């Protein structure tokens, strides 16, 4: 079973520490997106890099559209992996949608996780009543319709918005290529699950020591959302970093690493 789980999520192990640190990527991305961050923790942690099922070089034959119709299935995959490897006291680092996968992980198995780090998290992208997720419901449905009708064209449009570092076009190109490598049917399905999810109610169950890392300007997860999460999680710290874009681990890795290390080692 262990070998198949490692293959299923394209797991690779790095580092020399005894404490496990799992990195989980955002929508349309893969474990390669952590290459500028992860090595900074090789001396202190056993670093686990993985691809969510359906993304990167994961086993796409394991992608079941019914099973992965909620984010819970991804959290269950990570829990199953941790159990198979006898990992505990884990530091979980999630970007974007994987932040909420981390929230579900912490809710389901608080005994396995000691710290939760979320980069650009959002529990709900749609504005609802007094909550400001950043998008109207019609915005999200237009986004999903565009994705469904022309996924490659949508990818070319949305990736500059996500990255928001126009002076570094190579970063946008990398993100676009990552989006385009995902099987369109899976990408569309995962996109719908991601952008229509509402995990606000799950936040109050998280007692794990948590860090929210938020860019000052992020068109996908605005500052309001980061503050909201920090208010809902009992043991959370909110760190606003002087960066632009939804992927500071790629655009500003040194600032992201600094925030993580202060949280973990101070």
Is residue 170 included in any domain, yes or no? no
Report whether 92 contacts 116 (CB < 8 A): yes
174 in any annotated domain: no
Would 116 be classed as within a structural domain? yes
- Structural domain including 102 reads 2-124+198-265
The total of structural domains in the chain comes to: 1
Hey, how many other C-beta atoms are within 10 angstroms of the C-beta on 84? Answer: 14
- Two tokens at 20? 């496990």
The 10 Å CB-count burial string (b at 16+, else e) for 215-245 is beebbbbbeebbebbbebbeebebbeeebbb
pTM (2 d.p.): 0.97
Per the annotation, the verdict on 14 as an active-site residue is no
> Is 140 part of any domain?
no
Question: One of 24, 30, 58, 96 is an active-site residue; which one?
Answer: 96
Residue at 137 is within a domain: no
Digitized pLDDT (tens) for each residue of the chain, 266 residues in all: 455 889 999 999 999 998 999 999 999 999 999 999 999 999 999 999 999 999 999 999 999 999 999 999 999 999 999 999 999 999 999 999 999 999 999 999 999 999 999 999 999 999 999 999 999 999 999 999 999 999 999 999 999 999 999 999 999 999 999 999 999 999 999 999 999 999 999 999 999 999 999 999 999 999 999 999 999 999 999 999 999 999 999 999 999 999 999 999 98
246 included as an active-site residue: yes
Alpha helix (H) residue ranges in the chain: 2-8, 72-85, 97-108, 137-149, 151-163, 169-181, 184-196, 223-232, 248-251, 253-265
Closest CA to 31 of 246, 178, 188: 178
Q: How far apart are CA 52 and CA 6, in angstroms?
A: 11
Residue 46 lies in a domain: yes
pLDDT, residue 1, reads: 41
Residue 113 lies in a domain: yes
Active-site residue flag, 40: no
Q: Which of 51, 77, 202, 218 is catalytic?
A: 218
CATH of residue 6: 3.40.50.1820
Catalytic residue among 246, 249, 251, 252: 246
Q: Which residues contact 169 (CB under 8 A, 6 or more apart)?
A: none
Confirm whether 160 is domain-assigned: no
pLDDT at res. 4? 86
């Amino acid at each position: 079973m262990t070998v198949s789980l490692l293959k299923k999520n394209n797991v690779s192990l790095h580092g020399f520490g005894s404490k496990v640190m799992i990195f989980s990527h955002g929508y349309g991305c893969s474990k390669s997106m952590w290459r500028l961050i992860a090595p900074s923790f090789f001396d202190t942690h056993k670093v686990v890099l993985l691809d969510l099922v359906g993304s990167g070089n994961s086993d796409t034959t394991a992608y079941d559209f019914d099973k992965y119709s909620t984010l819970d299935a991804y959290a269950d995959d990570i829990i199953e992996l941790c159990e198979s490897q006898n990992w505990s006291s884990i530091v979980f680092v999630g970007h974007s949608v994987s932040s909420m996968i981390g929230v579900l992980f912490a809710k389901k198995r608080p005994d396995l996780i000691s710290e939760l780090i979320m980069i650009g998290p959002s529990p709900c992208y749609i504005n609802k009543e007094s909550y400001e997720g950043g998008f109207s419901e019609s915005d999200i449905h237009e986004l999903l319709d565009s994705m469904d009708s022309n996924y490659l064209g949508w990818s070319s449009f949305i990736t500059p918005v996500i990255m928001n570092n126009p002076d570094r076009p190579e970063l946008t190109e990398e993100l676009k290529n990552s989006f385009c490598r995902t099987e369109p049917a899976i990408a569309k399905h995962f996109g719908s699950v991601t952008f229509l999810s509402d995990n606000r109610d799950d936040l109050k169950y998280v007692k794990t020591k948590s860090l929210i890392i938020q860019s000052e300007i992020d068109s996908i997860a605005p500052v309001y959302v980061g503050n909201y999460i920090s208010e809902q999680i009992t043991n959370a710290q909110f760190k606003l970093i002087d960066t632009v874009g939804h992927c500071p681990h790629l655009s500003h890795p040194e600032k992201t690493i600094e925030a993580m290390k202060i949280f973990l080692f101070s």
